[in-house]
C-alpha cells in the first residue's frame, strides 16, 4: 500500500524577514505543488528525490553522514521520522518526492515537501493528523533547512489560501474580495534562506535601533495592506509592496537581478512588485490588473527568465 499527498508553494506578499522577529507577514498559496509518495519498508527510511535524482537511506541514530544526498534529503527524513514519533509507530518507509516548485527560489519548496511528507506518512499509518499538527511537524523539518524559520512557509503550505501570520498572534485567514493575478519571475539564482536570515541578523545586531524602526515600519505597512486587501484596494496594496521592497533592500537582501526584474515589472504596468522569500536571488512577485497581466509577464520573459502566472489556491496539504 502507498499514499501520495501534496502541498502548495507559497508566495510571501509582504513582511518576509521581519516576520522572523515577530512582525506580521502576508502570504498566499499558489498552484505549484510538491508531491510525496510513501509506502512501508523494513527498518530504515529510504528517501528519493526525482527532481534532484538523489537517494539516501537514513538510519535512526546515525548522524553527520557526508554527501550531497544526505544533506539535501535529510529534511524529508526529519519530517517522516518526527511523524512516526508523534504517532508512536516504529517502521521503515520508502519516500519519493516529485515537486513542481523551483528549489531555493523563495517559493517554499522545502516546506511544501515537509507538509506533504507528514500528511502522506500519517495517512499511511491510518492516523488523521489535524492541520495544526502537520504544520508543527513541518516546522521541525524547516529548522534543519533555515536555522531560524519564521514558520510562515509550512503554515501556508499546510492551510492554503491567503493569511496574515505572526509568531505572536498566529494565523488569520484573509477575506480577499478581489481576484489577485500574480506574476512570478525567477532570477535563476539559487540561494540559501538560512544565509539570508543570517545576513539580516547581522544588521539587527550591529544597528539595533535603526533595525527596530525598519521593523516597526514593516509592521504598520503589513497591517495597512491587509486592510487594503480585504477592502479590495489593490492599487494601495501594490504601492505598499513597492515600499516593502525598499525596506528589504535596506536590510541587504535584494540583488541586481531582482532589481532588474522588479523594475521591469513596474514599467510594464504592475501595481506593485518586490522580492519574495529570502531574497539574494530566487523569485520576485508582481500583482497586476487583468488588463496588464500579460504585458507584465511578457516584459519579464523578455529578460530570459522563467515566469509563472498564477492565482491564489485555497487548498493546502491534501491526499491525492
Q: Which residues are catalytic?
A: 153
Q: Three cell numbers at 244?
A: 516593502
134, three cell numbers: 502537520
Whether the CA torsion 135, 129, 110, 194 is positive or negative: it is positive
- Residues 81 and 90: their CA atoms lie apart, in Å, by 9
CA atoms of 247 and 185, how far apart (whole Å): 20
Asked whether 315 and 157 are in contact (CB, 8 A), the reply is no
Q: For residue 101, which of 89, 91, 113 has the smallest C-alpha distance?
A: 113
Closest C-alpha to 108, from 139, 78, 77, 137: 139
Distance from C-alpha of 280 to C-alpha of 106, rounded to nearest angstrom: 10
User: How far lies 8's CA from each of 30, 35, 94, 179, in Å?
Assistant: 6, 9, 22, 18
User: At 51, is the secondary structure helix, strand, or coil?
Assistant: coil
| Residue listed under C-alpha cell 517502521 | 91
Residue among 137, 44, 130, 132 at smallest CA distance from 95: 44
Residue 186: all three cell numbers together: 525567477
Collect all residues with Cβ–Cβ distance below 8 Å to 208 and sequence separation of at least 6: none
Amino acid at each position: 500500500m502507498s499514499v501520495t499527498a501534496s502541498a502548495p508553494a507559497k508566495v510571501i506578499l509582504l513582511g518576509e524577514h521581519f516576520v522572523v522577529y515577530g512582525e506580521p507577514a502576508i502570504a498566499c498559496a499558489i498552484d505549484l505543488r510538491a508531491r510525496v509518495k510513501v509506502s512501508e519498508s523494513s527498518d530504515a527510511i529510504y528517501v528519493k528525490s526525482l527532481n534532484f535524482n538523489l537517494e539516501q537511506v537514513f538510519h535512526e541514530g546515525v548522524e553527520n553522514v557526508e554527501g550531497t544526498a544526505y544533506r539535501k534529503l535529510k529534511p524529508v527524513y526529519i519530517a517522516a521520522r518526527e511523524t512516526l514519533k508523534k504517532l508512536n509507530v516504529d517502521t521503515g518507509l520508502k519516500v519519493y518526492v516529485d515537486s513542481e516548485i523551483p528549489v531555493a527560489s523563495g517559493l517554499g519548496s522545502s516546506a511544501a515537501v515537509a507538509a506533504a511528507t507528514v500528511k502522506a506518512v500519517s495517512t499511511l499509518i491510518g492516523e488523521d493528523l489535524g492541520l495544526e499538527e502537520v504544520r508543527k511537524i513541518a516546522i521541525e523539518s524547516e529548522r534543519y533547512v533555515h536555522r531560524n524559520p519564521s514558520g510562515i512557509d509550512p503554515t501556508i503550505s499546510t492551510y492554503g489560501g491567503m493569511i496574515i501570520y505572526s509568531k505572536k498572534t498566529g494565523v488569520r485567514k484573509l477575506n480577499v474580495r478581489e481576484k489577485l493575478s500574480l506574476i512570478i519571475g525567477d532570477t535563476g539564482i539559487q540561494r540559501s534562506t538560512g544565509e539570508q536570515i543570517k545576513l539580516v541578523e547581522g544588521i539587527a545586531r550591529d544597528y539595533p535601533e535603526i533595525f527596530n524602526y525598519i521593523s516597526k515600519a514593516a509592521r504598520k505597512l503589513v497591517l495597512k495592506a491587509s486592510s487594503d486587501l480585504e477592502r479590495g484596494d489593490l492599487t494601495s496594496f501594490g504601492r505598499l509592496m513597492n515600499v516593502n521592497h525598499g525596506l528589504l533592500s535596506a536590510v541587504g537582501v535584494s540583488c541586481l537581478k531582482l532589481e532588474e526584474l522588479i523594475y521591469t515589472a513596474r514599467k510594464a504596468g504592475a501595481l506593485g512588485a518586490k522580492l519574495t522569500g529570502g531574497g539574494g536571488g530566487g523569485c520576485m512577485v508582481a500583482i497586476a490588473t487583468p488588463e496588464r497581466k500579460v504585458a507584465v509577464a511578457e516584459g519579464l520573459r523578455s529578460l530570459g527568465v522563467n515566469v509563472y502566472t498564477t492565482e491564489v489556491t485555497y487548498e493546502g496539504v491534501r491526499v491525492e
